[in-house]
Amino acid sequence: MSSVVAPSFRRGAFAAFREAGFIGALTLGVFLGAVNVRTFAQAAPATAATQKAAPTYGSAAGDALDNPGPLATDLSAEIKPKAIAAAVKKVADWQVPYAEPSFNKLWTFAALYDGLLAASEATGDQKYRDAVLRFSEQSNWTLIDDRFPHADDQALGKAYMQLYLADPKASRKPVRMANTKEIMDRLVVRPDDPDKLLWWWCDALYMAPPVLSRVYVATGDRKYLDYMDRQWWLTSAALYDSEQHLFFRDSRYLTQKQANGQKLFWSRGNGWVMGGLVKVLQTMPADYPSRPKYVQQFKEMAAKLASIQSKDGLWRSGLLDPDAYELPEVSGSAFFTYAIAYGINEHILDRTTYLPVVEKSWKGMLSHIYADGRLGSIQPIDGQPGKFKPSASYVYGVGGFLQAGAEMHRLASGKH
């Protein structure tokens, strides 16, 4: 869907607004008539008083059940292809029928589509890819385009471009790329706004740069890569902490502190950046002038994340104050696992140093899979650290997990 918000998604939006403290300002009737979840996907931070688990039953993007049932007992944390594929399939087999009726063009689902495409590559089972293909065809291969140039609305272009590029060059279907390319063509000639960064929040580095880099691959025109490169480093200059080697979510957090006095760095926000780095490095030519800068930033962030990994193998939603959060946060942890496993596979990161990191994080994530395949401990839509239920499951976190599983499968296949 584009401008139409499904009833189930409205219920999820209602819960998200309640969590963010806005419900006192809106009547239910006005809310249901006017809500657009895209406006709170990058919402202002909630106050401390409202940072608590809120039920989101029926939300298109996910929910947090009071009784999700028992945890899975049929999975193995062995780093072997068969065991990893079993975990990927268990989660994907639960997620697709659970979420497909609510498939839409929002950034939340764009990350899931990335994961489903990766799951098919890892397992050889095309039904996950087919689910993405069905939705893409139903959507006429178009992006949301009513608040250009917002990066969230361009995130679906990654899946469109992957499906376009997957065909042999002579048989590629132009319709799969046409709308995405048209929007990227408008983007690369857009003048910079001196008063506001294009990608002013770090999540955007996962949403838009990989789309530009894939349009470059499809066309061979460096203007897409050059524009992406310029904007990446403008955002990095504003939000990357050169001492902690982590990204602030946006400029509002530059001076905020955690309860223990440490700087406030959000797990999923940094997960988005690590995922974005992977997708840019996958497509950027080896001789591109600034590629070494991306590799260096990737290495710096990976080293920092490895140094603050918790004993259970995962990371909390507030990275530098883990004791303040009872539960690990699986969406950020999933993207960290995805990125570090990729770094090992591509010989960017030292295998001896980083293999134990992803072995622990993979095992940790498996401990949050329920018997039916639900992946829990995923923070709901937010822009800062927060608390949530053990059963909380949201499609973007599942997308990160499936991509992590694909890289872990690749790692295991090279090892055994």
* Residue 65 to residue 55: CA distance in whole angstroms: 7
- Sort 192 into a burial class: Cβ within 10 Å, 0-12 / 13-18 / 19+: exposed
Q: Where are the alpha helices (DSSP H) in 64-150?
A: 81-99, 107-123, 127-138
β-pair partners for 266: 318
Residue ranges of E strands in 166-325: 240-241, 246-247
* Residue 14 to residue 300: CA distance in whole angstroms: 39
Residue-level length of the chain: 416
- Number of helices (H), then strands (E), in the chain: 15, 4
Catalytic residue chosen out of the listed positions 114, 152, 153, 203? 203
**Is 203 one of the annotated active-site residues of the chain?**
yes
Q: By C-alpha distance, which of 295, 268, 225 is closest to 397?
A: 268
* Residue 318 to residue 303: CA distance in whole angstroms: 17
State how far Cα 235 lies from the chain centre. 18
Q: Is the dihedral of CA 91, 93, 94, 99 positive or negative?
A: positive
- Other CB atoms closer than 10 Å to residue 304's CB: what's the count? 18
Q: Among all residues, which ones are annotated catalytic?
A: 203
